[in-house]
């Protein structure tokens, strides 16, 4: 098969964080880790194009994926692969968007990233195989990636034995034992001390390490964020009151506070009566402006970001975090105040 390989700006050799805003590009050859991948795929398969984009640009502009998949198709690509993205959130999200766009365009696709990468939960209808945690594991990660790519190219479905880390599509089959027999077997296993025996593995929620404190708040640009469903009156962008699938942004330019009647919380998880009576309880713009005028902070970012935390999935929350991080990094924001309800 003719293959298009997606990497980020770092592995494409463009640069590190200073080039994270690089737009989508294509090179008609294997680049960076793709060269080793090409050697592992030979002689049956060929990387005919490397497609890449800066991590910040990819996180902030989801449409980049459709653009690159279209370009790859013009180069004759028959299979799209992305990664390995290891545990890099922005890179993993970009890989997820690329392979999902390829699948929607009718192309087989495959991604590689660590199982804890937030991009895993964003992949739609495409297998993801495990990589190591960081680039020090590049060699074994590429070897597993290449073997999985060969199977996908051959029309095989990947399973956990191939290193697949996202769910395998459900297929009906006849079980070798009845439900009652399986239940008794699980009970006996538990009574024997096996605490891991299960037919339905529970999700493993990761730990989030707090960021280091700001060195000097007087020099820092600060942004206001909230998961309190805080929107202009009337909810013009139709943010969901629960199970949010998106986030919204609104300007704060020229405002010293958020006034009753002009803003509201549409959060479905608590009574919003008192929040709507004094909107600065949810978005503390009044106090932030005072700190700005006093010189206690270097400045206030000109927009606030909002979503609804009520019932929102972990996968969506991770995606929001990656996208917010990319936007704020581009704006040179150094600290955020995130209000929760």
Express each pLDDT in 161-199 by its tens digit: 899 999 887 778 888 999 999 999 999 999 999 988 888
Domain ranges of the chain: 2-162, 217-339
Query: What does residue 326 show for φ and ψ, rounded to 5 degrees?
Result: -65, -45
Question: From residue 147, how far is each of 46, 95, 263 by CA, in Å?
Answer: 14, 18, 54
pLDDT-derived band at 307, boundaries 50, 70, 90 = very high
Report the alpha-carbon distance of residue 28 to residue 33 in Å, rounded. 15
Q: What is the pLDDT of residues 40-76, one digit of tens each?
A: 999 999 999 999 999 999 999 999 999 999 999 999 9
- Per-residue burial over 313-325, b if 16 or more Cβ lie within 10 Å, else e, is eebbbbbbbbbbb
Q: Which residue has the higher pLDDT, 312 or 188?
A: 188
What is the rounded average pLDDT of the residues 195-208?
Answer: 78
Evaluate whether 196 touches 273 at the Cβ level (below 8 Å).
Answer: no
Residue 260: cis peptide before it, omega within 30 degrees of 0? no
Report the alpha-carbon distance of residue 56 to residue 8 in Å, rounded. 10
Q: What's 2-162's CATH class? A: alpha beta
Q: How many CA atoms lie within 13 A of 288 on its CB side?
A: 29
In this prediction the pTM is 0.73
| CA max distance for the chain | 72
Q: What is the pLDDT of residues 114-157, one digit of tens each?
A: 998 989 989 988 999 999 999 999 999 999 999 999 999 999 99
């Amino acid at each position: 098969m003719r293959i298009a390989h997606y990497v980020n700006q770092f592995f494409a050799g463009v640069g590190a964080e200073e080039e994270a805003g690089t737009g989508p590009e294509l090179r008609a050859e294997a680049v960076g880790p793709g060269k080793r991948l090409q050697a592992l795929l030979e002689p049956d398969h060929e990387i005919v194009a490397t497609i890449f984009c800066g991590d910040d640009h990819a996180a902030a502009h989801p449409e980049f994926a459709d653009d690159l998949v279209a370009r790859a198709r013009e180069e004759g690509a028959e299979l799209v692969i992305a990664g390995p993205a290891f545990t890099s959130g922005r890179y993993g999200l970009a890989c997820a968007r690329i392979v999902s766009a390829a699948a929607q365009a009718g192309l087989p696709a495959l991604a590689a990233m660590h199982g804890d990468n937030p991009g895993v939960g964003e992949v739609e209808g495409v297998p993801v195989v495990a990589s190591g945690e960081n680039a020090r594991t590049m060699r074994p990660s590429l070897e597993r990636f290449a073997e999985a790519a060969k199977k996908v190219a051959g029309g095989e479905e990947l399973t956990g034995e191939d290193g697949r880390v996202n769910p395998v599509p459900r297929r009906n089959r006849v079980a070798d034992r009845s439900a009652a027999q399986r239940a008794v077997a699980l009970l006996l296993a538990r009574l024997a001390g096996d605490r891991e025996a299960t037919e339905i593995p529970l999700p493993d929620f990761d730990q989030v390490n707090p960021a280091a404190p700001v060195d000097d708040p007087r020099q820092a640009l600060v942004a206001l964020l909230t998961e309190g469903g805080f929107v202009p009156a009337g909810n013009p962008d139709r943010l969901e009151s629960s199970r949010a699938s998106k986030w919204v942004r609104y300007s704060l330019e020229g405002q010293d506070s958020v006034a009753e009647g002009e803003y509201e919380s549409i959060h479905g998880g608590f009574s919003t009566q008192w929040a709507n009576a004094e909107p600065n309880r949810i978005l503390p713009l009044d106090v932030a402006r005072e700190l700005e005028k006093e010189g206690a902070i270097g400045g206030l970012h000109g927009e606030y970001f909002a979503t609804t935390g009520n019932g929102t999935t972990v996968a969506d929350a991770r995606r929001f975090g990656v996208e917010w991080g990319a936007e704020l990094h581009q704006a040179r924001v150094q600290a955020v105040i995130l209000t929760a309800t």
